[in-house]
Every structure is written in C-alpha cells, then in structure tokens.
C-alpha cells in the first residue's frame, strides 16, 4: 500500500480520499480547519503545509478549485515541490488550464517527479460511488503508475495523451455538459409553460433519443427545485472561461458555450454562484416569468 498526500478535501475530494483509505492506503493532508470526521476516523493525518505532505508521501494528489490554487499548492511557499522526493508521483485531479498544466508538468519533472493530469467528471454522486469518469494526460509510464489508484476512485479511466490532454478533454466535457443542461432546461420549461405534466414529459423523454444522464439527474433537480450543489455554478463558469479563452487562442467560435456562460452569469447576479449548475434553469425561468413544474 502507498503513502499518499491528498490536498483538497471538498465536495469531491472527501469521498475520493475515503475510497483510497478504504483500499488500505495511508493518507495525509494539509491542516485546514476541522478535519472531516469520517476521514479522521479512518486515520487520515494532518500536516502543516504541502511541503510536509510531499515529504511524507510517495504520491501526491491535488483536487482544488482552479489553476492558481494548483500553482500555489505545488510551487508556492511551503509547496509540494519543496518536499518532492525523486520519483514522487504528482496527480492533479483538479479542472484547470491545459497550457498551465503542461508548464506544471515540466517543472515537476525537472525536479525529479512524475506528473499526471487526471480531471474527473461525474459530480458528487460519481465521487461518492467511486464511479467517476477520469480523463488522463500522462506519459505511458506515469499512466501505468497512476492507473491502479484512479481505478479505486473511478469507473471509466481513459489515457487521452501527454500531459495537458486530460485537461483538454475535461474542457470539452464541460462544454457538452453546460449546453446539455441548458437544452434540458429549455425543453422542460417549454413543456411546463405549455401546460403539460413536466414530470411525465421527462419520463417520456428518458425513453427516447433525448435520453441523457443530465435529463435524468438534473431534470429531476429542476422539477423538484433541489439546487444544492453537486457542482457549483461558479466552478462551471471557471471551466467555461477556460473553454472560451482556449477558443480565442485557436481562432474558434463557440457560440453555444458563450450563451451558456451568460446564463450562468445571470444566476450569479441573482446570488446563485453556489447553486448547483442545474440552476441555469432559473435564469431561463426568469426570462419566461414561469417556473418549471408550475401549472
């Protein structure tokens, strides 16, 4: 079993770390307030900073919100790189900028480590059920080292290509997810405004070509008005910013992505930064002056 440092115990990170401990690995983390009771009961140890975590670990996993957060954990004062031992495997499972990922990988490799980017999809439910989809950017050797750990946390693990390729795949994933949530919102809003039983409409659509996990999970959220996060709007906004910035550098138009970002921004303007991303429906509801499910 391995000694693993796990930095980033949020909505996703907590269950992911728990699965690794259940599999027999020893985990340390950086002290940040009160440690989750479940992880504490499983024996997770807290250390002062990322440097100390790296010194105590053969493998370091990061699961933090954004590119600057990863950079600070890895290369800031008291960062992972200061405690990195030769051969340490660093796996970043955050969703961040692909170009920055390539730079981070080079710096870790120059310091004697191995770097893998392995962002995830599947939300809180996927993390809790160890059913995440994991998109991996790595050397072949790095992928083979990381794969047994990734298989503990996820169900579909795909080696996309070299470092940065996993993050590119995740950006593409977030484009598709955002536009599909918007499409489900518009379809259910139309049905509801027209007077149909929206729950039965959703049930019917789940049996046809419109079927999707988003229609299943987030369609139900919209009907039941349950917008506590799974995955926060402000984090999906961050991912769409990566998509739109990348599109500009590629001289590429992504009009649907830009529209979804504007709807997310409308939610934020109404206090919804921490709503689940299914809350994009609320922006459309306001435009329609009609709430999904009302008759």
**Alpha-carbon distances, residue 169 vs 100, 104, 139, 225, 280 (angstroms):** 15, 18, 16, 31, 23
pLDDT tens digits, one per residue of 86-126 = 999 999 999 999 999 999 999 999 999 999 999 999 989 99
pLDDT tens digits, one per residue of 4-42 = 999 999 999 999 999 999 999 999 999 988 899 999 999
Q: Residue 60: in which H helix or E strand, if any?
A: strand 59-62
Cα gap 17→4, rounded to integer Å: 9
Mean pLDDT of the chain: 96
pLDDT tens digits, one per residue of 153-189 = 999 999 999 999 999 999 999 999 999 999 999 999 9
What band does 295 get if pLDDT is binned at 50, 70 and 90? low
Domains 3-162 and 168-288 share a fold: no
Q: Which residues on neighbouring strands pair with residue 188, listed in sequence order? A: none
Backbone angles phi and psi of 234, in degrees to 5? -65, -30
Give yes or no: 155 in active site.
no
Q: Of the CATH numbers 1.10.10.10, 3.40.30.10, 3.40.50.2020, 1.10.1040.10, which one belongs to the domain with range 168-288?
A: 1.10.1040.10
CB-side exposure of 97: number of CA atoms within 13 Å? 16
Domain edges within the chain: 3-162, 168-288
CATH superfamily, domain at 3-162 = NAD(P)-binding Rossmann-like Domain (3.40.50.720)
- In the set 51, 170, 232, 234, the catalytic residue is 170
Q: Which residues on neighbouring strands pair with residue 26, listed in sequence order? A: 3
**Chain centre to alpha carbon of residue 171:** 10
Phi-psi region of 115 (alpha: psi -120 to 50; beta: other; left: phi over 0): beta
Cα gap 95→65, rounded to integer Å: 7
């Amino acid at each position: 079993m391995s000694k693993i440092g796990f930095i980033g115990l949020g909505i996703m990170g907590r269950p992911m770390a728990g699965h690794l401990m259940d599999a027999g690995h020893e985990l340390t983390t950086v002290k940040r307030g009160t440690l989750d009771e479940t992880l504490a009961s499983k024996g997770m140890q807290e250390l002062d900073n990322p440097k100390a975590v790296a010194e105590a670990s053969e493998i370091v996993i990061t699961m933090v919100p954004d590119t600057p957060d990863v950079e600070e954990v890895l290369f800031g004062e008291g960062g992972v790189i200061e405690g990195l031992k030769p051969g340490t495997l660093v796996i970043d499972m955050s969703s961040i900028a692909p170009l920055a990922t390539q730079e981070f990988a080079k710096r870790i490799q120059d310091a004697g480590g191995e770097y893998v980017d392995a962002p995830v999809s599947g939300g809180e439910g996927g993390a809790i059920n160890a059913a995440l989809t994991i998109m991996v950017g790595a050397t072949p050797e790095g992928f083979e080292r990381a794969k047994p750990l990734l298989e503990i946390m996820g169900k579909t693990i795909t080696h996309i290509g070299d470092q940065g390729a996993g993050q590119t795949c995740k950006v593409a994933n977030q484009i598709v997810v955002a536009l599909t949530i918007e499409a489900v919102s518009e379809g259910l809003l139309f049905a509801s405004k027209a007077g149909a039983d929206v729950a039965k409409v959703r049930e019917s659509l789940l049996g046809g070509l419109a079927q999707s996990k988003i229609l299943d999970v987030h369609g139900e959220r919209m009907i039941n008005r349950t917008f506590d996060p799974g995955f926060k709007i402000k984090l999906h906004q961050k991912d769409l910013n990566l998509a739109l910035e990348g599109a500009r550098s590629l001289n590429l138009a992504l009009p649907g992505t830009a529209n979804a970002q504007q709807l997310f921004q409308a939610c934020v303007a109404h206090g919804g930064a921490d709503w689940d991303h299914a809350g994009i429906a609320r922006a459309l509801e306001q435009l329609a002056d009609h709430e999904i499910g009302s008759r």
